[in-house]
Amino acid sequence: MGGELVLVTGGSGFIAAHCVARLLQQGFRVRTTVRSPRREADVRAMTGEDGEALTFAVADLMSDDGWDAAAAGCDYVLHVASPVPQAKPRHEDEVIEPARQGALRVLRAARGAGVRRTVLTSSFAAVKYGHGNRRVFTEDDWSDPAGGAMAAYPKSKLAAERAAWDLVRGGDMELAVVNPAAVFGPALGPDLSLYAALVDGLLRGAMRAVPKMTLSVVDVRDVADLHVRAMTDPAAAGERFLAAAGVLTLPQIAALLRERLGEVAERVPARTMPDWVVRLAGRFDDRAALAVSELGVVREASGEKARKVLGWTPRPAEEAVLDLARSLPVVKEHPAGAATA
């Protein structure tokens, strides 16, 4: 079977599944890692591929086992998988070290297999923290943990990306990095990402009010497109690329859902949440802690470099939010859901 072979780590994840689907659409063969063979059917369902173009390898970021075999024979690697804490960790190293060591495991396997280029999925979180009242950020910026409070997950993305660049420095291994902002866009499977869970909660009326947060937003389909461009374009070697389409506040997102989805969004709150409530929740929950660090600040990611260097053209932020909402069961199963399409 023809087509270059790409290893995508963590194929059942939100971004990774879209990367797999995008690669298959463009004629690549894909091997993706899963932590358990039981996830293979899920990935096939999400990507719509039931043939030989998609194969699987079992590997876990916490173990050396399986990575050399997963990378063997591959032309490229997209390292998308990263541990996401489901609860506030007892110590931040419980999140940071798995991300850093996992990135190094994948990169060493890629180097050993002689792949042409590896693309690492980092995050805007590795760029935006610790810079006071700075508003607009570019690829030249790096988060500074000493400049202000950072939760464990942002620190893990920063540590993993730093370790990746350190590993390839001075060698002949090609690396490119994609730093997505807040990723919205359609969910392909039942596992909800951070922002899918946020929108789902808004639609289900799980929140009486929304925090006064501002997000740089990007569509997951455009994040996948940027990964493929960073993988194949000669100009991407050795470069970072912020993936962002625009800025929205959570109150604006809530208003957009109410205005565009009508009856389906009748439980979306119209009130804003006092900052002290968010800070209190952030003491007990790592995801809420991410919101605390965003209160009262505007951190905008510039996607200009990806546009100029790689010809990347993202969808509007509003489209990413609405398409995410329309993909959720809470909308699809609503009697008025068909009218939102």
| DSSP letter for each residue of 167-180 | HHTTSS-EEEEEEE
Active-site residue, from 155, 157, 212, 305: 157
Those residues with Cβ within 8 angstroms of residue 47's Cβ, 6 or more apart along the chain or in another chain:
11, 17, 20, 21, 24, 54, 188
Beta strands in 108-229 (DSSP E): 117-121, 136-137, 174-180, 182-184, 209-211, 214-219
Contacts of 224 (CB under 8 A, 6+ apart): 15, 18, 19, 21, 22
39 Cα distance to chain centroid: 19
96-143: per-residue pLDDT in tens?
999 999 999 999 999 999 999 999 999 999 999 998 878 999 999 999
157 belongs to the catalytic site: yes
Does residue 102 lie within any of the structural domains? yes
User: What pLDDT shows up at residue 86?
Assistant: 60
Residues in a beta bridge with 31: 7, 55
pLDDT for res 88: 62
Asked whether residue 126 is assigned to any structural domain, the reply reads yes
Q: What is the mean pLDDT of the chain?
A: 92
Distance CA 146, CA 296 (A): 20
Domain count for the chain: 1
| pTM (two decimals) | 0.94
Neighbouring CB atoms inside 10 A of 42's CB total 17
In three-state secondary structure terms, 4 is coil
Task: Report pLDDT for 85.
Answer: 61
- Give the 3-state secondary structure of residue 62: coil
Residue 273 domain-assigned (yes or no): no
Which percentage of the chain shows pLDDT scores above 90? 76
pLDDT tens for 211-261 read: 898 999 999 999 999 999 999 999 999 999 999 999 999 999 999 999 999
Q: Which pLDDT does position 340 carry in this prediction?
A: 62
Whether 56 has a pLDDT exceeding 70, the answer reads: yes
Cβ–Cβ under 8 Å, residues 303 and 105: no
- 140-199 pLDDT per residue, tens: 999 999 876 788 888 999 999 999 999 999 888 999 999 999 999 999 998 899 999 999
Q: Which CATH number goes with the domain that contains 129?
A: 3.40.50.720
61 belongs to a structural domain? yes
Percent of all residues in the chain with a pLDDT value above 70, rounded to a whole number: 94
Q: What is the DSSP string of 6-55?
A: EEES-TTSHHHHHHHHHHHHTT-EEEEEESSGGGHHHHHHHHT--STTEE
pLDDT class for 207, splitting at 50, 70, 90?
A: confident
Asked, for residue 26, whether it belongs to a domain, the answer is yes
HSE of 212, CA atoms in CB hemisphere, 13 A = 11
Cα–Cα distance for residue pair 320/217, rounded to 1 Å: 8
Domain that holds residue 52: 5-252+283-333
pLDDT band at 37 (very low <50, low <70, confident <90, very high): very high
148, part of any domain: yes
Domain for residue 166, yes or no?
yes
Query: Phi and psi of 231, rounded to 5°?
Result: -75, -35
Q: How many residues are recorded in the chain?
A: 341
Find the mean pLDDT for residues 268-296.
80
Report if residue 146 sits inside a domain: yes
Only one residue has tokens 């390898």, namely 57
- Is pLDDT of 297 > 90? no
The single residue listed with the structure tokens 């997963």 is 70
Quick one: residue 224, left, alpha or beta (phi over 0 = left, psi -120 to 50 = alpha)? Answer: alpha
Better-predicted residue by pLDDT, 171 or 323: 323
